[in-house]
Amino acid sequence: MASLERDQVIAYLSALSPDELNDLVLDLEERLGLERVALWPWGDPTMGAPLSIEEIGIPAFDVVLLDAQEARIPVMKALRARLAMDLEDVRSLVDRCPVVVGEQLAREEAIELQQVIEAAGGRAEIR
C-alpha cells in the first residue's frame, strides 16, 4: 500500500463534498467499530467558551417525590434535613405523593435532591 503524506490526506478530504465526507465518516465508523458522540443540540461544545445553563436557555428543574413506599419515615427525615422543613410540612408533602419537593433548582441541586430521596428509600424524578 502506498504511503500517504498528511497534506495529501487533507487535500483529498478538502475536495470532498459534505455528503461525500459524511459517507466517508460513516464508512470509517462502521469499519472501526466506533459510535458517534452526541453533540449538544445548540452546537459544537468545543467551539468557544462553555455556556452556562442560563445562557443557553435551559430552565431550572423541579424534583417530584413520586412515592415514599415503605420508607416513609426515612424519606421524611431526609427531606427535613435537606429542605430545613418542620415535621408537619414534611408529613404533608409525603402524604400527597406525587408532589414537587424542589422547585426551580439547578441541575446539580436537582440530581442531589433526587439521590437523597432515593437513598432514603423513596422514588423521585426530575422534571
Average pLDDT, whole number, for the chain?
A: 80
Which pLDDT tens digit goes with each residue over 82-99? 888 888 888 888 888 888
Neighbours of 106 (CB within 10 A): 14
The angle that helices 72-83 and 107-119 make with each other, rounded to 10 degrees, is: 150
Q: Is the CATH number of domain 58-126 3.40.718.10?
A: no
Would you state the pLDDT for residue 47?
Answer: 54
Share of the chain above pLDDT 70, in %: 80
With a threshold of 0.95, does the pTM exceed it? no
Strands 61-67 and 99-105: antiparallel
Domain boundaries, the chain: 58-126
In this structure, are residues 75 and 82 in contact, taking their beta carbons and an 8 Å threshold? no
Would you state the pLDDT for residue 48?
Answer: 57
